[in-house]
Amino acid sequence: MRHSLVIWFVAGLLAQPVVMWGQAGEGFNVRWVEQFPPEGGDVRRSFGERLSTLLMGPQPVALIKPFSVVGGPAGECWILDQGAGTLVHVEQGKGKLVRSLHRLSPDFPSLVGLCMEPGGDLFCSDSKLNQVFRVGAESSVLFSGSLSLRQPTGMAFHPVTGELWVAETAAHCITILNRQGALVKRIGERGTGPGQFNFPTFLWIDREGRVYIVDSMNFRIQILDEFGNYLSGFGKHGDGSGDLARPKGVATDSHGNIYVTDALFHVVQIFSPKGAFLYSFGGQGLEKGEFWMPAGIYIDETDHIYVADSYNSRIQVFKLEKKD
């Protein structure tokens, strides 16, 4: 059952990496690499210190509640800190605060989604302001314009069309915007059938243009093609291996395997391209390789796995490696 999945990932991670078995019997290791900030988050700080951070703004590299993460060139990454309304830039393993979105106009009360345009621009969504913004060096620009969105959350750019796909959680649909921020179309409606959604949240688009959507309250992952047509899906509510309880982020590696964070189980579950459960890593805790309500996940072209370990106030980085 679930306890056997979440307790085993404890001390000795570097010397005894997680083993994940692929479809064809090939072995892979998931190895812990590093975390941001290097000394861990502020989860052990006093209430007064955390309150001061909320009121005065975070200090460099301190995270409060990282929720989404994306990677950029040269191994850098950007972190959306929902707890501070801030984006943090991590370069060469050292984090530094580069802009505080909550100090701009308007305020950002509920940042959720973060993605990077192929050209390198950052985009974020605010689920209370019901808008999508392009993030600049000193300010942000409204991208979705006069378009009325209902609780936008997860986002991703399509590598083929260049369009921005946005999960409208309260509308139970996926919205596609063109490069000017205008509505192209909406996909789906509330329901339990293929291509229907019940509070969709995070999403991911792979290099071939397949779209992976976390259909949260249907406790499943749905996969669509570049036009929004249903291809396949997997997952169900439960507490067994491969079941989902509070699915959050989703991403794929270079082999097409699908990774899903589960905030209730405090693990990352790995599924084959066809949705068969392979393995999981994590478990509730404060140590390296353990999680406390993980949220967003990002996998770069070199199979580095970035996990937003939200309530541990850190980003953990893992590496998928072929077993010798």
Q: For residue 130, give both structure tokens.
A: 């019901």
Here the CATH number for the domain that contains residue 115 is 2.120.10.30
CA distance 169 to 151: 5
Give the tens place of pLDDT for each residue, 236-253: 999 998 999 999 999 999
What does the pLDDT average to over 23-39?
Answer: 77
- Average pLDDT rounded to a whole number, residues 294-314: 96
pLDDT in tens, 117-139: 987 889 999 999 999 999 876 66
DSSP symbols for 29-78: EEEEEEEESTT--STTS-HHHHHHHHHH-PPTT--S-EEEEEE-GGG-EE
Pairing of strands 314-322, 66-71: unpaired
pLDDT score recorded for residue 98: 61
User: What is residue 101's predicted lDDT score, i.e. its pLDDT?
Assistant: 60
User: Please, are residues 118 and 151 in contact by the beta-carbon 8 Å criterion?
Assistant: no
Give the H or E element holding residue 6. Answer: helix 2-6
Q: What is the DSSP string of 88-153?
A: EEEETTEEEEEEEGGGSSS--S-EEEEEE-TTS-EEEEETTTTEEEEE-SS-EEESSTT---SSEE
Report CA torsion sign: 138, 107, 89, 158.
negative
Angle at the Cα of 236 from the Cα atoms of 71 and 209, rounded to 5 degrees? 40
**pLDDT of 262 higher than 70:** yes
- pLDDT attached to residue 13: 34
pLDDT, tens only, 52-73: 556 655 455 688 999 999 987 7
Containing domain of residue 248, as a range? Answer: 2-322
The count of structural domains within the chain is 1
